[in-house]
Amino acid sequence: MDVPFWVWAVTVGLIVGMLVFDFVGHVRTPHAPTLRESAIWSAVYVGIALVFGVLVLWGWGAGYAGEYFAGYITEKSLSVDNLFVFVLIMASFGVPRELQQKVLLFGITFALLLRTVFILVGAAAIENFSWVFYLFGAILIWTAWVQARSGGHDDENFEENAVLRFARRVLPTTEQYEGDRMTVRIDGKRFITPLAIALLAIGTADVIFAVDSIPAIFGLTQETYLVFTANAFSLLGLRQLFFLIDGLLDRLVYLSYGLAVILGFIGAKLVIHALHTNELPFINGGEHVTVVPEIPTWLSLSVILVTLVVTTVASLAKSKRDRAEHAATHVVAPDAPLAPGVPDAPQAGEVADAVGPTDAERGTDAPAPRH
């Protein structure tokens, strides 16, 4: 895939421009975005990614367009999984909702820079060492096993990593948020705020995310331009997606299983590709192994789409059943015993005693008492 320098320059300029627009137009003034705002801008960013895919189709053909779309969809689905961790980080640091946009945008910018470095290193490694495909495949298969074994996100707890613990010990930090400021001066001494610590948590968490996302995209395409753009466009709309599906994340109960299938599939695809380009002397005497055919891009894209659709539909169906069962168990049957401490309903005689004696008991001449 021949990508001229000016195309790289225009693409990078477009991405930087979108980040700047996001900051100036949405994040500069702290506010909690509405559901409508999040939905509109999520659709805009997805639309831009789709239009870019059409441009790849027009400029370089269906093969490269298929690789881009497969990479973009995979990175987007992995980004949704990352949102679970972002929710935990926001809750752990008590980030006010109106400030969460700023943390997310700065974290996404840091993640994009970090992944660009990883992509360049990965591309250089693949160019010079074919055995890297074995390594990437092993990482993805192991990650798939961990995802499948976790079975969801109910038991996840955010734990501060070594970078955060070091930052807390070394850097003086205020106890409370100071608006949307990252640092503040108190009595002539500079302090960082909890907002900066939360931003550091988001950024360092992406180092872990990149361990599976970068090998996954290289398993679908080895074109550095497509790897970079698929990552960039999947990250750019992540801030809006966070607020759009924040309340739906806990309903995607089978997402981990779906991602496990996708990562395991791509891992197997990488191992097969590694066998086809094998140069390791202890495997088949350093000769290529072509017994198993390589997996075409159309099949990869089909497996990814079908897995995500099945996972989403099954998750929402289970969530609906669970809510219905929960509602049914909280409906008290007419003959069911009341809760402890609640008196039973009085019987007919008890009602009469409570009201007072009847006319027959008082005598017909005795006037009824007035209440």
pLDDT tens sequence across 178-216: 777 888 888 778 888 888 888 888 877 777 777 778 888
pLDDT bracket for residue 362 (50, 70, 90) = very low
pLDDT surpassing 70 at residue 24: yes
Q: Can you tell me the distance from the alpha carbon of 111 to that of 119, in angstroms, rounded to the nearest whole number? A: 12
* 144-170 pLDDT, tens digit each: 888 788 765 544 555 665 666 777 677
Dihedral sign for Cα atoms in the order 136, 141, 146, 152: positive
pTM: 0.74
So what's the pLDDT on residue 96?
Answer: 83
Q: Which residues pair with 173 in a beta bridge?
A: 192
pLDDT surpassing 50 at residue 7: yes
| Rounded-to-5 percentages of helix, strand, coil across the chain | 70, 0, 30
Residue 269 is which amino acid? K
DSSP code at position 173: B
So what's the pLDDT on residue 12?
Answer: 93
pLDDT surpassing 60 at residue 116: yes
